[in-house]
Structure 1
Amino acid sequence: MKCFVILTIIILLSACSKNNNHLLDERMQYWEITLESNVTKGTSRESIKQWALKNSIEFFENPETKSLYANVETIADSGIGFPCSEWNIILEIQLDDNEVSIGHSISSVGTCV
C-alpha cells in the first residue's frame, strides 16, 4: 500500500509538472521571438526604452554588467504549486559601451517554498 501511495504521488507531480513546463516553454519561446523581432543587435538604448514603454515593460539596469532586466510575465503553476507556485519570465538585454544591444537572453525563475 505504501508503494502505491508513493507511486501515485510521483505520477501526479509529473503530470502537473509537464502541464506547467509546456506553457512556460511556449511563453518563453514567444518572448524569444518578440525580442529577436524588436530588439536586434545594434538597437540603441533609447529605442529599447521606447519599445519597452510601448509594451508596458519596466527594465532595471545592472551597471556592472551593462545589462537591462525585466520580469515580463508570471505563470501560475497548474499543479499543486509545490515546490514552486509560479514562474517568472525574465528578459536580459546586454549593452556595449556605446549603449547598443549586443545580445539578449531569456530565463525563468520560480517563486518557490
Structure 2
Amino acid sequence: MTNISNWIVLPTILLVLFGCSSNDAVVEKEHEWRTKLEQFQPIGKTRKELFDWQNKNGVQLDSFPHKKGIILESIEGDGLVCSKWNIYLAIDVDSNEKISSYSVSSAGTCL
C-alpha cells in the first residue's frame, strides 16, 4: 500500500509545484508592462497622472483591488492548476501623495 501512495503523492506534489509556476507568457507580459512604466516614469507623479496613464493604456480605472495595487492585465493560464494570471502594479506614495516607488509582479489564480 505504501508503494501505491508514493505513486500518487509524488505526481500530485509535482503537479502543484509546476502546474502553477510562472510561464513564458506571464514573464513576457511582466516585461512589457515594466517597459511601458519605465517610459511613463511614475516616480514623482500623482495618482491622477497614473489614472490618465491607465486610461491611455487600456487599464481599467477601477482595477485597484487594494489602494496600493493595480491589475494591469489578466491572462489565461496554460497550466493544469492555474486558470488565470494577473499582472499587478504595486505603488507606494509619499506624504505629498506622489508615487515614491513601484513594482510589477504576477500572481496566478490556482487551485
- Would you say same fold, with TM above 0.5? yes
Within the alignment, does 1:21 sit opposite 2:23 as a pair? yes
2:33 to 6, 31, 34: 31
For the aligned residues, what is the CA RMSD? Answer: 2.9
What SS does the aligned partner of 2:106 have? strand
Alpha-carbon shift at residue 17 of structure 1 (Å): 6.5
User: 1:26-105 to 2 correspondence within 5 Å?
Assistant: 26-57=28-59, 58=61, 59-60=63-64, 62=67, 67=68, 69-79=69-79, 81-82=80-81, 84-105=82-103
- Quick check: 1:39–1:101 contact (8 Å CA) kept in 2? no
Q: Distance in 2 between matches of 1:33 and 1:110?
A: 21
Q: Distance in 2 between matches of 1:46 and 1:74?
A: 23
Alpha-carbon shift at residue 40 of structure 1 (Å): 2.8
Q: Distance in 2 between matches of 1:23 and 1:49?
A: 26
Segments of 4+ moved more than 4 angstroms: none
- Quick check: 1:39–1:48 contact (8 Å CA) kept in 2? no
Within the alignment, does 1:109 sit opposite 2:107 as a pair? yes
Structure 1 runs not aligned, ≥5 long = none
Q: Give the AA of the match of 1:36.
A: E
TM-score (norm 1): 0.69
- Quick check: 2:76–2:83 contact (8 Å CA) kept in 1? yes
Structure 2 runs not aligned, ≥5 long = none
CA deviations 1:54-96 (Å, max 9, x no partner) are 223224252xxxx3x21121222223x21x1221111112211
